[in-house]
């Protein structure tokens, strides 16, 4: 199971991989730098999903649901079903 701590670390890694400072990422996502810092460090013990999505998109990532142990996302499965592919 992925914990909030894991998500915070993924956000930090995504930002660093994109070569962005917290300030640069915050500006791109339209949030305060303190929001980035709080989410990366879980200062309040929770995080806003809408802010997380905006920050990940600003770093060049998408948030996708994947069942544990599977490589395909929910979006992949739905697209396959629409095309009539067998699972």
pLDDT tens by residue, 49-68 = 899 999 999 999 988 777 67
Q: Is residue 58 in a domain?
A: yes
Q: Is residue 78 in a domain?
A: no
pLDDT tens by residue, 19-56 = 999 999 999 999 999 999 999 998 777 788 899 999 99
Q: How much is the pTM?
A: 0.73
Give how many domains the chain has, as a whole number.
1
CA distance 40 to 13: 9
Q: Is residue 76 in a domain?
A: no
Q: Is residue 83 in a domain?
A: no
Domain with 42, as residue range(s), is 4-62
């Amino acid at each position: 199971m992925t914990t909030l701590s894991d998500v915070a670390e993924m956000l930090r890694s995504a930002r660093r991989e994109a070569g962005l400072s917290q300030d640069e990422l915050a500006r791109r996502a339209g949030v305060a730098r303190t929001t980035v810092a709080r989410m990366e460090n879980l200062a309040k013990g929770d995080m806003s999903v809408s802010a997380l999505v905006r920050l990940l998109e600003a770093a060049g990532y998408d948030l996708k649901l994947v069942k544990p142990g599977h490589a395909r996302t929910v979006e992949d499965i739905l697209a396959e079903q629409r095309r009539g592919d067998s699972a």
